[in-house]
Structure 1
Amino acid sequence: MVITTIWAAIIALGIFMYIALDGFDLGIGIIFPFFPDDAERDMMMHTIAPVWDGNETWLVLGGAALLAAFPAVYSIVLSALYLPIVFMLICLIFRGVSFEIRGKAARSKNLWNVAFICGSAGATFFQGVILGTYLHGIPATNGVFSGDPFFWVTPFSFFTGMGLMATYALLGCGYLVLKTSGDLQQRMHGLIGPLTLVLLGFIAAVSIWTPLTDPHIAERWFESPFRYRLYPVPILVLLVAAWMYSAVKRRSDAMPFVLALALILLGYIGLLVSIWPYAIPNTMTLAEAAAPHSSQVFTLVGAVIIIPIITLYTTAGYWVFRGKVEPGAGYE
């Protein structure tokens, strides 16, 4: 069980790193329509051009780790969520292509702007749909998905899709505050307050919605012996939100982005606590879904080698391209 828990922690880390890193560059695409000036859009793109593709490495790591450590979950989740996963990947493809072509295009630049916006918003929305569907559980019989192909089309999954769009938009604003200056930075500061309130609304709604519809989550938060250890989480969310208001008022450069990450981390911890020890909520526990012990040990050796390498080159990329992006600057 120790190895299984380690693998669960690795996958949880990979997913969080993806949300934290790819979240802000997807968020920039979501807020793109509100900044129609081409020069400002170019500067927004230049802030993420050196790092956006490396950020997606963590998504690949999470998928590969899931297949290696919990193949039953990989099989059920892919079968159940095949359509939203395909839609998400199509959006990521269009977004990636727009990154490469938009900067060189002339007459078709607006077309690639639309591809960047729709690709970013669509990928985020379907990631949220996948999250909401997963939280409500995936029906399986004898280790095989046994639901309808469109069972993921629910009000809750669409709600979490919109919630993740607000989350990434806040991250994108925070990152642009960190990387830009002048008028663009000031307008980003102005967006952070409303987006924080929207995100708090989504967090509160999900926190109420999930216990009302899932007795296991309700028991974990309100009846389990360690529930008192969970109560600081919503309190910390409110404290971080208040700190965010103060940071925006002081026109801080770095704190809005850091605090946006803190809000996401607290929400993520709440979700993990709610579903533990299930690999698929109410369907399969981690122990039931785990690969054979020998397989987990063998692949863990590879993870111990690969994860530091990914961390190293990710850190190096951000270090090399640290600092503000000035108007007129570019990245080729």
Structure 2
Amino acid sequence: MQDLQMFLANIWYFLLGLVLVLYVVLDGFDLGVGMLSLFARDERSRGIMMASLGYIWDANETWLVILGGMLFGAFPLAYGVMLQAFYLPLLLMIFGLIFRGMAFGFRENADNKRPWNVAFGLGSLLSTLAQGLILGGFISGIPMHGRSYAGHVWDWLTPFSLLVAAGAVFGYALLGAAYLIIKTEGEIQKLNYRYAKIAASLMLLAAAGISIWTPLRHAYVAERWFVWPNFFYIALLPAGAFCSFLMLMRSLQKRQERAPFFWSLGIFLFSFTGLAVSLYPYIIPTTVTLGEAAASPKTLVFMLTGIGMLIPLMLGYNAYQYAVFRGKVREEQGYPSGS
């Protein structure tokens, strides 16, 4: 029974990582476009940027809901502890998403669009910063006593979590710029080639800092990465991320349209795989392992049936959306509020 539970817990660890990457990539470029809209040169440009997201943004956010439900069902102990540890940044993230959603709902018909422009941009920035702070606090580790949270309200706010938050801002801005390169043309597209180069360079610096800092914080991470022969295999992940970065910069220099987005995806995929390998077998770093936090085998098997149907359906729906609304956004268009 113990072996079965650990086997199922490993499957759910993989599925959680998969859904997390899907959320980060899909809603990441949404949030990136929102942050970049703060730098739009005029109302027309900002309108085109928002219109590029109009039919897809709410579906992309659904992955966050699925992620929370999966964590609650598969690892209830981890869900409860994380909720206590990160309730302030979680509230900030929710407020940011609400402001962003309101901007979509009210901006189109507003006489004065400026407040909704600000809400859209700052809501996106607030949500991104909050997600980075949560991730940074999570990687740092969560203090526990027995099966209960033993930390303080502000434990998540550290220099390391601020570095991760900065990396999240630069990473999402890169995804947003790469997406706008595909969806726009002319002056807006030209600006986003420049924004993508800047964001990618800053993200590389942040990622390097995180990669150095993490093994210094956790001895077991350093042992996993720097002990032979582990180093030979695991080093392929940062090497893949760096090669993706070089190919990204090359594609931006050549003014390619679709390649920058896909090379950006490569950077995120290699980076998150490296994070998952580094933290395993902990679901809460240094304190709770997958086996200790996992639900009963019956629960895990039952949930697998549901999630096995839900993930393909969601992926199919996302693919259908992108196929239907492919092509350039040349003028500001009406878009649904998502309500």
Shorter-chain TM-score category?
over 0.9
In structure 1, stretches of 5+ residues that fail to align are none
Q: Counterpart in 2 of 1:23?
A: 28
2:209 aligns with: 205
1:133 has 2:137 as partner:
yes
SS in 2 for 1:48: coil
Say if 2:16 is the partner of 1:11.
yes
In structure 1, C-alpha distance between the alignment counterparts of 2:61 and 2:290, rounded to whole Å? 25
Q: Which residue, out of 211, 214, 218, partners 2:218? A: 214
Match of 1:113 in 2: 117
* 2:302 matches 1:306: no
Match of 1:151 among 134, 137, 155: 155
Shift of 1:327: 2.4
2:85 aligned to which of 80, 92, 96:
80
How far apart in 2 are the matches of 1:298 and 1:330?
A: 42
Query: Match of 1:100, as an amino acid?
Result: G
Q: 1:282 to 1:84 in 2, by over 3 A?
A: same
Q: Residue 51 in 1 paired to residue 71 in 2? A: no
1:37 aligned residue: 42
Instruction: Please report how far the alpha carbon of residue 236 of structure 1 lies from its aligned counterpart in structure 2 after TM superposition.
Output: 1.9
State whether structure 2 residue 190 is matched by structure 1 residue 160: no
Q: SS of the counterpart of 2:300? A: helix
> Shift of the alpha carbon at 1:36?
3.1
Once residues 181 and 272 of structure 1 are traced to their aligned partners in structure 2, the CA distance between those partners, rounded to angstroms, is 37
**CA separation in 2, counterparts of 1:237 and 1:296?**
33
**Which whole-Å deviations, capped at 9, do the CAs of 1:279-312 have from their partners, x for residues lacking one?**
1110111011100111111111111122222112
Letter in 1 for 2:75: F
Letter in 2 for 1:65: M
| Aligned counterpart, 1:90 | 95
* C-alpha distance 328-78 of structure 1, shift in aligned 2 (>3 A): closer
Residue 318 of structure 1: aligned partner: 322
Distance 1:245 1:227 in 2: 27
Taking only the aligned residue pairs, the percentage that are identical comes to 40
Aligned length: 331
RMSD over equivalenced CA pairs, Å: 1.2
Letter of the structure 2 residue corresponding to residue 96 of structure 1: G
Contact 2:51 2:332 in 1 (8 A): no
Distance 1:78 1:35, change over 3 A: same
**Candidates 86, 101, 108, aligned match of 2:106:** 101
Determine the C-alpha separation between the residues in 1 that align with 2:250 and 2:277: 29
The alpha-carbon deviation at position 201 of structure 1 amounts to 0.3
- In structure 2, stretches of 5+ residues that fail to align are 1-5
C-alpha displacement of 1:6: 1.2
> Could you tell me whether the CA contact under 8 Å between 2:108 and 2:334 is conserved in 1?
no
Preserved contact between residue 20 and residue 67 of structure 2 (Cα < 8 Å): yes
Task: Give 1:28 deviation, angstroms.
Answer: 0.8
> Residue 247 of structure 2 aligns with which residue?
243
Distance in 1 (CA, whole Å) between partners of 2:230 and 2:209 is: 23
Range moving further from structure 2, 239-248 or 12-21: 239-248
Distance 1:10 1:213 in 2: 26
Does the Cα contact within 8 Å between 2:242 and 2:267 map onto a contact in 1?
no
The answer to whether the Cα contact below 8 Å between 2:241 and 2:268 also exists between their aligned partners in 1 is no
SS in 1 for 2:283: strand
* Amino acid of the structure 2 residue aligned with 1:167: G
Q: 1:182 aligns with which of 157, 180, 186?
A: 186
Secondary structure, aligned partner of 2:247 = helix
Q: Secondary structure at the match of 1:153?
A: coil
Q: Which residue is 1:287 aligned to?
A: 291
Q: Distance in 2 between matches of 1:4 and 1:94?
A: 36
Alignment partner of 1:62 is 2:67: yes
The amino acid of 1:71's aligned partner reads P
Q: Does 1:195 align with 2:196?
A: no
**Alpha-carbon offset, residue 225 of structure 1:** 3.9
